[in-house]
Chains A and B, each alone.
Chain A
């Protein structure tokens, strides 16, 4: 599983980092998120799905 945050959609709600702190990093400047690049560890998949489902802007794409 891979995750991608669309920077044009993300508004910095921070729900993703609340749900999967190991995967989503928030900018110190404006709180907008970036996802860890590459394949995500299986142990994080549930949390990442929850993060994507909790994003108010639906800015996170999973593949």
Chain B
């Protein structure tokens, strides 16, 4: 599904190398987690994959089902099936949440040569999905993420994910700022999308999210690359001992 090979990335504006040989391979239907200390390059990885400006790839590749992502515009990556749930979802004053969702859904369908959803079809689907995420009609009407609480923003990300039905979902610190109830809501939303084919990359600083979204593989990232990979037990090890031992081991 997703294969990142020896990815080296620096900032465009500054002579600062952030990713230094990042490699990762996620198969169909698999759930992988990336853990790592702050500043290790987790968010940068997700931004580079989704096509944000400001980074320069100096080496390496990232493919989705064999297609090179790094050459594509962000919208084409999305149409190809990539989705990033943002660590900090962006507020868009003046653009209604519903309008935005519908534009996105139909743009992707169009890009894939599928028929656009009618207003009625869309509405029916969005209402059902919003309900399971406890997103009320008011939140759907309001401008995208404007005035949303931290938890509401994260739920809104999952709603977008549910509507867009991507093949490869990246979740960047989706647990940050969530209380236990919200965490359960969000995790249930994610788990509902696990269908054995869709793949997930869950980026998190803490182990607790992984109690809800059970990973197949856990990677530890430090200083721009993966330093260790293992099963779910690796996350528990981090939980108990912190990153220090793992980092020392890798040195």
Tell me whether A and B are bound partners.
no
